Amino acid sequence: MHPSLTILGSGYTAKALLPLAERRYAHVYATSRTPERHLSHLSPEQRIRFDLTRPDTWTSIPTATDVLWCFPAVPIDLVQRFADTISLGVRRLVILGSTSAYNDGSSSAYPPPWIDESATIDLTIPRVKSEELLRTAYGGVVLRVAGIYGPGRDPIEWIRTGRVSASRKYVNLIHVEDLGATCLAALTHADSGGVYNVSDGQPRTWNEICETVERRWNIRSSVSDESRPNGKRLSNNKMCELLDLDRAGLRHTDLFEALEAIQKNTLNEAGPSR
Ligand SMILES: NC(=O)c1ccc[n+]([C@@H]2O[C@H](COP(=O)([O-])OP(=O)(O)OC[C@H]3O[C@@H](n4cnc5c(N)ncnc54)[C@H](OP(=O)(O)O)[C@@H]3O)[C@@H](O)[C@H]2O)c1
């Protein structure tokens, strides 16, 4: 068992991966800006008040734990001061970034070419600049994460409510359980300064997703104008190799099966209808 882990920012992903982290680490701590409201699911000794914008809270981070950074790392000057204050450079550090780091407006090819971790990133995006700092100066491992879905974050609801619409744009998604497993595998096995794309390896167009959702769940989608960018197709080969090192594998490669399971769970949680 590993000694201890601090999860910075206990939102959707952090909460979902907590059981897995507790199986691997003897002690798991999690932070919130309002721990009394957002960390009530944890024992009091696991709860830490932490706000990157309030340096007076930085000293509450336990010394020598591994660190999983689960919120956008901005602004860069605070990120750097914080990293020095808690000696991030000598800890195992994994940062959740985003696939928006890869510029998608440049290619007119359709379908868009596959991209791996060597693709150009956009350093004008503040969080990308900070992630590169944490990676190159402090040895952090950056996970470039696709759209996260799972229980309570359901693409079917995104379609129903018009948050997304049918278009030829490609989207890359990752189930929160697979993201959690990847975070743990990265904390254990990834090389310092490494970068990993995190997606299910099955880029789809919103047209395909919307059509299938309409056919299987009878939910109509709105249609978007065609002037949107083409999106990206993200290779996840490196991430799959990482999961292999952990004797794990991707569990949710079939989006529609995963959506079926989420819908069933939602219905079960709602209880029998009257
Ligand atoms: N959602 C997606 O589809 C997606 C896709 C790609 C990448 N990502 C990235 O993946 C990471 C995890 O995503 P998520 O959706 O699980 O995140 P989330 O639910 O938004 O949770 C992040 C938590 O971090 C805490 N936080 C925010 N600002 C902070 C600050 N200045 N100082 C300290 N704590 C702060 C907040 O908790 P408190 O309010 O309790 O402090 C927040 O709930 C994020 O970096 C996100 O940008 C997300």
What pLDDT score does 253 carry? Answer: 95
Q: What residue ranges line ligand 1, CB within 6 angstroms?
A: 9-13, 32-34, 38, 50-53, 70-72, 96, 98, 145, 147-148
Q: Which of 10, 41, 48, 71 to mutate to test the pocket of ligand 1 (most atoms within 8 A of CB)?
A: 71
CA of 187 to the centre of ligand 1 (A): 18
Gap between the Cα atoms of 204 and 175, Å rounded: 14
AA identity, residue 185: A
CA of 215 to the centre of ligand 1 (A): 33
Please identify, by atom number, the ligand 1 atom nearest to the C-alpha of residue 176.
16
Q: Which region, left, alpha or beta, applies to residue 218 given φ > 0 means left and ψ of -120 to 50 means alpha?
A: left
What pLDDT score does 274 carry? Answer: 43
pLDDT in tens, the chain (274 residues): 779 999 999 999 999 999 999 999 999 999 999 999 999 999 999 999 999 999 999 999 999 999 999 999 999 999 999 999 999 999 999 999 999 999 866 678 899 999 999 999 999 999 999 999 999 999 999 999 999 999 999 999 999 999 999 999 999 999 999 999 999 999 999 999 999 999 999 999 999 999 999 999 999 998 877 666 799 999 999 999 999 999 889 999 999 999 999 998 887 777 665 4
Output the CATH code of domain 2-266.
3.40.50.720
Who's near 168: CB < 8 A, 6+ residues apart? 110, 205, 206, 207, 226, 230
CA of 128 to the centre of ligand 1 (A): 15
Q: How many residues does the chain have?
A: 274
Strand partners, 170: 205, 231
Is the pTM higher than 0.75? The answer reads: yes
**The two three-digit tokens of residue 148, written as one number:** 């996260």
Gap between the Cα atoms of 160 and 132, Å rounded: 37
CA of 11 to the centre of ligand 1 (A): 6
Q: 102, 115 in Cβ contact below 8 A?
A: yes
